[in-house]
Amino acid sequence: MHWLTFDLDGTLADWPFRRLLRPYMQPLLEQPHIRQALREEYLHRLAQGDPIRVYDWGDIHRVVQEKLGLEPVFPPIPKLLLEAALDPGWVYPEVPAALAAFQARGYRIAIATNGLAKYQQVLVDRLAIPYDRMLAPDLAQAIKPQPAFWQPVLNSQVKKVVHVGDLLSQDIWGANQAGLTAVWIWRSMPEDWRRTPVHQRTQRKDLDRVIEERLQSELAEHGLVGQSSPNQPPQPDHIVADLEELLVILK
Ligand SMILES: [Mg+2]
């Protein structure tokens, strides 16, 4: 059995959870002390490494709201996820056909997200993204880049697991440490990289610099679970701009 595990946000879809919450979050984020308190609560949870609490945005908001004595501004998140209008265009255009093609080739598909399944699964289903199972912190009791995140799909019948994701610090580091084939999907890939044939991209001399720069900006933005980072830089086995390129390299 072969598994293809896909990160969701930035890989299959353009951050649907964030897009839905943005109208409620924006007025908060414009107030520096609230923005700061939300980030501190997130980074505090990240440093503690508790996989379920890190990305529980509803709970992060509740804690900050109580700490700062704010009025409730969110509708209940589960209700919002079920009822709010979703734009099918949030799913990247080549994704539905590509996932169907992988399934037709016999691959099992997993959505492998650091967002909580209790939030993300509703969106994935409503956006009609096909999958066979979900991997998420509240299901695996681990978060990317922890290798244990993929444990639910690693068993004796599994011959190959390919993980595809946009974040070097979560997806590629995680796949490297778990011993999976690591595919970095670089949706904002510059034109000269796109012109480089897919199988030659990991040989480019400027790859190390690209990875170092992107890794530092990711760590500044998202942080890293736990206190220490792996010794080796993230090392993608393949670098693709979209899933159509992945269809070509994965037979
Ligand atoms: Mg992502």
Q: Which of 83, 113, 132 is the last residue of a domain?
A: 83
What is the Å distance from ligand 1's center to 139 Cα?
A: 18
Shared domain check, 180 and 136: yes
What is the Å distance from ligand 1's center to 242 Cα?
A: 13
What is the Å distance from ligand 1's center to 90 Cα?
A: 14
Shared domain check, 139 and 32: no
Shared domain check, 169 and 155: yes
What is the Å distance from ligand 1's center to 110 Cα?
A: 14
Write down the pLDDT at residue 41.
Answer: 93
What is the Å distance from ligand 1's center to 115 Cα?
A: 9
Q: Which of 68, 83, 98 is the last residue of a domain?
A: 83
What is the Å distance from ligand 1's center to 204 Cα?
A: 24
CATH number, residue 226: 3.40.50.1000
Write down the pLDDT at residue 84.
Answer: 93
Shared domain check, 230 and 136: yes
Total domains, the chain = 2
What is the Å distance from ligand 1's center to 32 Cα?
A: 26
Write down the pLDDT at residue 227.
Answer: 62
What is the Å distance from ligand 1's center to 15 Cα?
A: 8
Shared domain check, 112 and 224: yes
Q: Give the DSSP letter string of the chain.
A: -EEEEE--BTTTBS-HHHHHHHHHHHHHHTSHHHHHHHHHHHHHHHHHT-HHHHT-HHHHHHHHHHHHTPPP-SPPHHHHHHHS---GGGB-TTHHHHHHHHHHTTEEEEEE-SS-HHHHHHHHHHTT---SEEE-HHHHS--TTSGGGGGGG-STT--EEEEEES-IIIIIHHHHHHT-EEEEE-TT--HHHHHS-GGGGGG-TTHHHHHHHHHHHHHHHH--SSS---SSPP--SEEESSHHHHHHH--
Write down the pLDDT at residue 226.
Answer: 65
- Domain range for 45 is 17-83
Q: What are the mean pLDDT values of the chain's consecutive 10-residue runs (251 residues total)?
A: 96 96 88 93 87 88 91 82 94 97 96 95 96 95 93 86 97 96 98 97 98 94 75 95 96 77
Shared domain check, 244 and 145: yes
Write down the pLDDT at residue 224.
Answer: 78
What is the Å distance from ligand 1's center to 183 Cα?
A: 12
